[in-house]
Structure 1
Amino acid sequence: MAAYVRKKVFVSSLMFFVMIGSLNAQVADIKAICGKAKNPSFCSSYMKSNPKTSGADLRTLANITFGSAQTSAKGALAKIQSLVKTETNPTLKKGYTSCVEQYKNSISNLNDAKQNLASGDGPGLNIKVSAAMEGSSTCQDNLANVKADPSTVKNSGDFQNICGIVLVISNMM
Structure 2
Amino acid sequence: MATYLRKKNVFASALTLFVMISSLNAQVADIKAICGKAKNPSFCTNYMKSNPKTSGADIKTLAQITFGSAQTSATGALTKIQSLAKTANSPALKQGYTSCVEQYKSAISILNEAKQSLATGDKGGLNIKVSAAMTSSTTCQDDLANVKADPSAVKNSDDFQNICGIVLVISNMM
Alignment TM-score, normalising by the size of structure 1:
0.90
Larger CA deviation: 14-23 vs 28-37: 14-23
Aligned to 2:173: 172
The question of 1:120 aligning with 2:117 is answered no
Q: Give distance in 1, aligned partners of 2:79 and 2:12.
A: 46
Equivalent residue, structure 2, for 1:28: 29
Residues 20-29 or 85-94, more deviating: 20-29
Are 1:37 and 2:38 an aligned pair? yes
Structure 1 unaligned blocks of 5 or more: none
Asked if structure 2 preserves the Cα contact closer than 8 Å seen for 1:122 and 1:172, the reply is no
Matched-pair identity in %:
80
Q: Distance in 2 between matches of 1:13 and 1:86?
A: 64
Q: CA deviation at 1:50?
A: 0.7
Partner of 1:129: 130
Question: Separation in 1 of the partners of 2:143 and 2:56?
Answer: 40
Distance between the aligned counterparts of 2:156 and 2:113, measured in 1? 22
Aligned ranges for residues 22-171 of structure 1 at < 5 Å?
22-171=23-172
Name the SS for the 2:28 alignment partner.
Answer: coil
Question: What runs of 5+ residues in structure 2 fail to find an aligned partner?
Answer: none
Structure 2 counterpart of 1:91, which letter?
A
After superposition, give the CA deviation of every residue in 1:10-30 in whole Å (9 maximum; x if it has no partner): 899767644532332111111
Which residue identity is paired with 2:40?
N
Q: Which moved more, 1:9-18 or 1:41-50?
A: 9-18
C-alpha distance in structure 1 between counterparts of 2:152 and 2:96, whole Å:
14
May I ask how many residue pairs the two structures share in their alignment?
167
Instruction: Please give the secondary structure, in 2, of the residue aligned with 1:21.
Output: helix
Matches of 1:40 and 1:92, distance apart in 2: 32
Q: What's the secondary structure of 1:146's corresponding residue?
A: coil
Letter in 2 for 1:35: G
Query: Is the alpha carbon distance of 1:86 and 1:60 closer, same or farther for their aligned partners in structure 2, counting shifts above 3 Å?
Result: same
SS at match of 2:115: helix
How large is the RMSD of aligned CA atoms in angstroms? Answer: 1.9
Greater displacement, 54-63 / 21-30:
21-30
Q: Distance in 2 between matches of 1:115 and 1:36?
A: 25
Residues 82/15 of structure 1: CA separation in 2 closer, same or farther (3 Å cut): farther
TM-score (norm 2): 0.89
Q: Secondary structure at the match of 1:129?
A: helix
Aligned pair in 2 of structure 1 residues 29, 94: CA closer, same or farther (>3 Å)?
same
